[in-house]
A and B are shown apart, each in its own frame.
Chain A
Amino acid sequence: MHISNTMSELLKKGANIFFNKRSHLVTIKSFLLIVFLFNSFISFAKEIVISPGEDAQERLQEALILMNEGDTLIIKSGYYSFEDGLSLDVNNVTVIGEGMEETVLDFKNQQSGAQGFLVTSDMVTLQDFSILDAKGDALKVIGSKGINMINLKTEWTGGPKSTNGAYGFYPVESEDVLIDGCVAIGASDAGIYVGQSKNIIVRNSIAQYNVAGIEIENSYFADVYNNLASHNTGGILIFDLPDLPQQGGHHIRVFDNKSIDNDTDNFAPEGNIVGEVPRGTGIIIMANSDVEVFNNLISGNGTVNLSIVSYGDETDDPNYYPHPKRIQVHNNTYGPSGFDPDIQTGELAKSLFEISNGNMPDIFWDGVVPLSQMIFGQPNEEKLIVSEDSEVNFLTISPLKYILGFSNPIRTEKEEFAGTVEPLSPITIDGI
């Protein structure tokens, strides 16, 4: 470990000389003030360098604990193998490698720790390294205010397997979350998962061969853009679940993404909500409010390009609203979809296949609203808006007609959903 604070040491020595000579008190005081000022400048410039080699695990973990606010920890290029998880709990620091292909943190020999790398502090930047084959989640961030994940990779190298860890990138209960230029491969739940967080930007990233590529869950104010989600089971998921400290997910913009060719069989361990996502899903929006989906390319998804659904299971949570509302879908480009529906997984594909008689749509809304709205209609301001080219196929169900056994409970004309799009405001993070 190399710490370049020789300047401050010199100044401290200077102060000692003054003390020894018992010089004039005022001089010492003003000198100490100078030392203090210099010290605070210098501490901002401190760099700590870790290189591969013996005891790298202990050296790196010790550096992560002992670094001070303002410091930068550089992990030199090379291969690092760990038996235990790493963790960081110092505010306002940067941990930077020399590239996601160059600085490799490998956890396949991990013996303890529920994740590869755990961050619990604020104002942290992690950049330019990769985390491979963690036993649990790869990178978990809990309760952080200001977390930047830039040009990082998380991967399970054995391909999609149910024994892979759940999440690649896993910020939870955090605020001001940036995921930029990252790559997530092989997670048995979601490659990039943001849960119970606020003020989020996920951009310029790639998620492949995960169950869910990118998932925003129980979160407020998120921009998801310019990402590629391909060869997952489902590309991009915007979910809200009951019985959690933060729920009522809202204000999510999903735009300029490519969610294409999501064709990996669902390999989530049973019991997880994403285990119900059918192979070949482009984007799903479940039980969120104020979601705007636009300018995306959604194509090659064998079940359905875009689904908008309610939370389907029973819940006694009185504070939970299980239906999507104020969802706006416009100006997306749709490629082939519905050509290989995954009727084996969950209920969605099977029901849709039956209801549509095999004519799978590009966009599906399950039409489920509270009972009073089924009878008296939805308030205008809560209605789904679909503003797409005329050739884009749309399908929704009238649950009331369906329950009452009407011969034709489905509607495919999207004209009645062509309201006026009211764009959501962009997300900004200070300093980004």
Chain B
Amino acid sequence: MKEAIKYLFMLFVCINVYAVDEDLIFAEAFPSKLSDFKFFKDSSAQIPHDDVIPYELISTLFSDYSYKQRWVYVPKDKKAEYQENWVFDFPEGSALIKTFYYPVDERNPEMGKNLLETRLLLKKEDGWEAVSYAWNEEQNEAFKKIAGKTINVSWTDFMGEVRDVRYRVPNVNQCKECHAADDKITPIGPKARNINKEYDFNDGEFNQLVYWMNRDIIDDYPLDLISPVDWTDETQNINDRVRSYLDVNCGHCHSPTGNANSTGLYLHLNETRDIHLGVNKKPVATGRGSGGMKYSIVPGKPEESILLHRMISLDPGVMMPESGRALSHTEAVDMVRSWILLMKE
């Protein structure tokens, strides 16, 4: 009996040592070090606490070819609620954690990673707040960066080419530029339809929604979800692939509730009107972003389509998205070019 109590006590201590610091999620000021939250058992190796669950999205935002690892934390005995066409309604005290990194060499994962930043969305009493932590050179701690940070970094890509990038850790306001809907901060990724895929967890491979149910962090979700396609999946219809890509890369601002709603160009998945999708749509306040072209999309003529021009550009006054990109996403540009080319006039 005494042994059992002792064992339980030890277990309690262990859990406490490794438990996520929920008070810090609610704290008015963000702590200066990422490790203070205790999301990870091993920060450098990015091994999360048991209550911090990894997840992936079907279609992801392009961030200069960086890799992303995502985790969700929902406080014990609380659940996130399903919302149609929107991200789960997470309870207070929840955290979404996303680490950005480049592999040293894409051809050889064993050569390790270069951790850049870990972005947090924390659900407080008044709603979500966003902050980013930039990793130090020693890669053993990440520090709060309110005003953002520039990291000049390089990696070796699949072709063996060394790529350089001026990577920008966003400042707190820039987080809001994308993560705003109706003037409130909101997550973008974890919509039920966008996580409806298999994932290889430590305890086996499961559909992520099923796993979230089993872990009691969500309540329920409809079985007949219409999920976006993975835009990299070339067996899929090109229109579905492009709409999926545009939804996750542009639709958070270019929607009637997003930051770019004044443009009338809406690229979220639910938009069906051609003119608002950019077909033969004149720009409104584009300035030199137009590149001398007259319409966002000219069917059959990618070279006359402003949308493609702004995806390709690296000029801060022209390029889209406005932040978070310093390189051109060649594969996506090629796909969108084909899509416009195939459009009937």
Q: Does A395 contact B (CB under 8 A)?
A: no
Q: Which residues of B contact A142 (CB under 8 A)?
A: 259, 262
B300 in the interface (beta carbon within 8 A): no
**A112-120, A290-298, A358-366 - the one binding chain B:** A112-120
Please encode chain A, from 175 to 194, with 1 for each CB lying within 8 Å of some chain B CB and 0 for all others. 00000000000001100010
Interchain CB contact under 8 A, A173 and B288: no
Instruction: Tell me which residues across on chain B come within 8 A of A313, comparing CB atoms.
Output: 282
Cβ of A75 under 8 Å from chain B: no
Given A61-B171, A137-B287: A172 and B317 interface contact (C-beta under 8 Å) = no
Is B84's beta carbon under 8 Å from chain A? no
Contacting residues of chain A (223-255) with chain B, CB-CB under 8 angstroms: 241, 243-246
Contact for A112 among B183, B256, B316, CB less than 8 A: B316
Q: Does A7 contact B (CB under 8 A)?
A: no
Contact yes or no, B168 A112, CB < 8 A: yes
The answer to the question of B120 belonging to the interface, with a C-beta cut-off of 8 Å to chain A, is no
Query: A83 — which chain B residues lie within 8 A by C-beta?
Result: 150
Give Cα distance in the complex from A409 to B99, angstroms.
70
> Is A195 a contact partner of B262 (Cβ separation < 8 A)?
yes
Cβ of B302 under 8 Å from chain A: no
Select B316's contact among A111, A188, A269, beta carbons within 8 Å: A111
CB contact between B171 and one of A65, A163, A172 (< 8 Å): that residue = A65
Q: Are B317 and A135 in contact (CB under 8 A)?
A: yes
Known contacts A135-B315, A165-B317: A195-B285 contact under CB 8 Å: yes
User: Could you say which residues of chain B place their CB within 8 Å of the CB of A196?
Assistant: 262
Q: In the complex, how many residues of chain A place their beta carbon closer than 8 angstroms to a beta carbon of chain B?
A: 55
Assess whether A167 is in contact with B293, with CB atoms less than 8 Å apart: no
Contact of A114 among B282, B291, B322, B326 (CB under 8 A): B322
A120 CB contacts on chain B under 8 angstroms:
173, 176
Which candidate, A13-21, A84-92, A343-351, A416-424, is the interface stretch facing chain B? A84-92
User: B256-314: which have CB < 8 Å to A?
Assistant: 256, 259, 261-262, 264, 275-276, 281-295, 306
Contacts of B306 in A (CB 8 A): 271
* Cβ-closest chain A residue relative to B149: A58
Check A61 against B147 for contact (C-beta < 8 Å): yes
Chain B hits for A136, CB < 8 A: 287, 289, 316-318
A66 engages B146 (CB within 8 Å): yes
Q: Is the interface of B mostly helix, strand, loop or mixed?
A: loop
A149 in the interface (beta carbon within 8 A): no
User: Contact: B316 with A241, CB < 8 Å?
Assistant: no
Query: Does B75 reach chain A (CB closer than 8 Å)?
Result: no
**A143 CA to B256 CA, complexed, in Å:** 13
* With known contacts A110-B316, A113-B316, A113-B322, A89–B176 Cβ distance under 8 A: yes
Q: Is the CB of A270 within 8 A of B290?
A: yes
Nearest residue (CB) in A for B306 is A271
With an 8 A cutoff between CB atoms, is A62 at the interface?
A: yes
Name the distance in Å between A263's Cβ and chain B's nearest Cβ: 22
Across-interface contacts of A85 in B (CB, < 8 A):
316
Determine whether the beta carbon of B168 is less than 8 Å from that of A172.
no
Q: Bound state CA distance, A298 and B318, in angstroms?
A: 35
Whether B172 sits at the interface, judged by CB under 8 Å, is yes
Residues of the B chain whose Cβ atoms lie less than 8 Å from the Cβ of A112: 166, 168, 316, 323, 326
B292 touches A135 (CB 8 A): no
CB-contact partner of A118 in B173, B264, B315, B319, under 8 A: B173
**Which residues on the B side are within 8 Å of A129 (C-beta)?**
none
Provide the residues of chain B in CB contact with A392, threshold 8 Å.
Answer: none
Q: How far is the CA of A110 from the CA of B319 in the complex (A)?
A: 13
Q: How far is the CB of B134 from chain A (nearest CB, A)?
A: 12
Residue of A nearest to B281 (CB): A243
Contact of A271 among B173, B183, B286, B319 (CB under 8 A): B286
CB of A271 within 8 A of CB of B146, answer: no
- The CA-CA distance from A57 to B147 in the complex, in Å, is 9
Set A57, A87, A272, A316: member contacting B283, Cβ < 8 A = A272
Q: Is the CB of A163 within 8 A of B262?
A: no
Cβ of A170 under 8 Å from chain B: yes
Can you give 11 contacting A-B residue pairs, CB < 8 Å? A65-B172, A113-B322, A114-B316, A136-B287, A136-B316, A137-B287, A165-B288, A166-B285, A170-B285, A244-B284, A272-B286
| In the A-B complex, the 8 residue pairs with the closest CB atoms | A166-B287, A271-B290, A136-B317, A135-B317, A114-B322, A87-B173, A62-B147, A61-B147
B-side residues, CB < 8 A to A, are 146-148, 150, 166, 168, 171-174, 176-177, 183, 256, 259, 261-262, 264, 275-276, 281-295, 306, 315-319, 322-323, 326
